[in-house]
């Protein structure tokens, strides 16, 4: 995933607005709100992404639906590049975005994931498997970019980092989604992604763009992966970092079943 970018599909983030700004509603830095909010006027929805929670699949489907059947050749090469995405960011039209976000008849949705699985997936993907991403992200935590940190070292560094300074990949889902401040029409679970995103697509009338949805990481036995990597110290750190997510999204504190 590329770094946060405040640019919009038009390259213009200077549109004026009145009333509370999108970032004020989400209670987070404007660059973050610009990056994680994907607005489709054509489909009539706002998707608020949580990195490491099937966001690549969701964005690709929404981008395809936004462009329509004749625009498939225009799909961006990098699904995460906001500058080329056909989906609008809040800065494209702040007033219009806020109106769509606060419309009780609108459809704003997101997906969440068990914090144990999400934290482990982040470490495996961004710190172990991908040298380019590790070189970019490890210094943000004071870690050596030339060697993969242990899971405990990674989590300890995240725990010491203030929430507002955390990269979206390891920020709490509560901070990203602000479920107490934003009225969501639907918050799905990664653990049931295929069925629940299919329901979202059916509701929005974009099933044709979803195709055969991929199996999730959970289908490869997330519980076994957590058991093999997460010991007592790692579990304690995950509960400490993501306490708000366990409480706000109803995930159990134990890691034996996820």
Between the alpha carbon of residue 30 and those of residues 13, 27, 184, the distances in Å are 11, 9, 20
Please, what's the b/e burial string for 148-163 (b: 16 or more CB within 10 A of its CB; e: otherwise)? bbebbbbbbbbeebee
Which structure tokens are listed for 51? 């990195």
How many domains, the chain? 2
Q: Are residues 127 and 90 in the same domain?
A: no
Q: Are residues 198 and 71 in the same domain?
A: yes
Q: 3-class SS at 130?
A: coil
Full domain range(s) for residue 91? 22-112+185-218
Q: Is 105 among the domain residues?
A: yes
Q: Are residues 28 and 67 in the same domain?
A: yes
Q: Are residues 45 and 75 in the same domain?
A: yes
Strands 37-40 and 45-48: antiparallel
39 neighbors 60 (Cβ within 8 angstroms): no
- Per residue in 153-198, pLDDT (tens digit) is 999 999 999 999 999 999 999 999 999 999 999 999 999 999 999 9
How distant is the alpha carbon of residue 117 from its chain centre?
14
Q: pLDDT 10s per residue in the chain (258 long)?
A: 444 433 334 444 445 556 899 999 999 999 999 999 999 999 999 999 999 999 999 999 999 999 987 766 678 888 899 999 999 999 999 999 999 999 989 999 999 999 999 999 999 999 999 999 999 999 999 999 999 999 999 999 999 999 999 999 999 999 999 999 999 999 999 999 999 999 999 999 999 998 877 666 554 466 688 889 999 999 999 999 999 999 999 998 887 766
DSSP tally for the chain: helices H, then strands E: 13, 4
Q: Are residues 30 and 88 in the same domain?
A: yes
Q: Are residues 93 and 119 in the same domain?
A: no
Q: Find the helix packing angle between 232-241 and 115-122, rounded to 10°.
A: 100
Kindly tell me the burial class for residue 226, based on how many C-beta atoms sit within 10 Å of its own C-beta (0-12, 13-18, 19 or more): buried
Q: Are residues 79 and 105 in the same domain?
A: yes
Q: Which residue has the tokens 């390891």?
A: 170
Between the alpha carbon of residue 97 and those of residues 69, 110, 157, 201, 243, the distances in Å are 25, 16, 35, 21, 30
Q: Are residues 40 and 140 in the same domain?
A: no
CA–CA gap between residue 218 and residue 194 (Å, rounded): 11
Q: Are residues 90 and 189 in the same domain?
A: yes
Angle at 98 (CA atoms; ends 52, 250), nearest 5 degrees: 40
Q: Are residues 105 and 119 in the same domain?
A: no
Q: Is 231 among the domain residues?
A: yes
Q: Are residues 128 and 237 in the same domain?
A: yes
């Amino acid at each position: 995933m590329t770094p946060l970018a405040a640019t919009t599909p038009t390259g213009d983030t200077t549109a004026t607005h009145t009333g509370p700004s999108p970032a004020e509603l989400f209670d987070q830095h404007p660059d973050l709100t610009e990056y994680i909010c994907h607005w489709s006027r054509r489909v009539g929805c706002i998707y608020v992404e949580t990195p490491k929670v099937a966001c690549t699949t969701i964005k690709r489907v929404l981008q395809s639906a936004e462009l329509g059947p004749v625009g498939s050749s225009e799909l961006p090469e990098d699904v995460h590049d906001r500058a080329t995405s056909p989906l609008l960011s809040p800065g494209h039209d702040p007033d219009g975005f806020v109106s769509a976000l606060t419309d009780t008849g609108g459809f704003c949705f997101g997906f969440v994931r068990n914090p144990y699985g999400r934290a482990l997936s982040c470490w495996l993907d961004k710190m172990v498997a991908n040298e380019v991403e590790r070189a970019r992200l490890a210094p943000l935590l004071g870690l050596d970019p030339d060697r993969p940190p242990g899971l405990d070292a990674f989590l300890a560094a995240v725990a010491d980092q203030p929430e507002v300074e955390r990269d979206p990949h390891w920020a709490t889902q509560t901070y990203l989604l602000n479920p107490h401040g934003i009225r969501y029409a639907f918050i799905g679970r990664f653990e049931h992604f295929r069925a629940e995103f299919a329901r979202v697509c059916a509701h929005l009338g974009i099933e044709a763009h979803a195709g055969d949805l991929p199996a999730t990481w959970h289908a490869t036995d997330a519980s076994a992966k957590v058991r093999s990597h997460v010991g007592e110290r790692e579990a304690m750190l995950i509960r400490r970092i993501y306490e708000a997510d366990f409480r706000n999204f109803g995930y159990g504190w134990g890691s034996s079943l996820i």
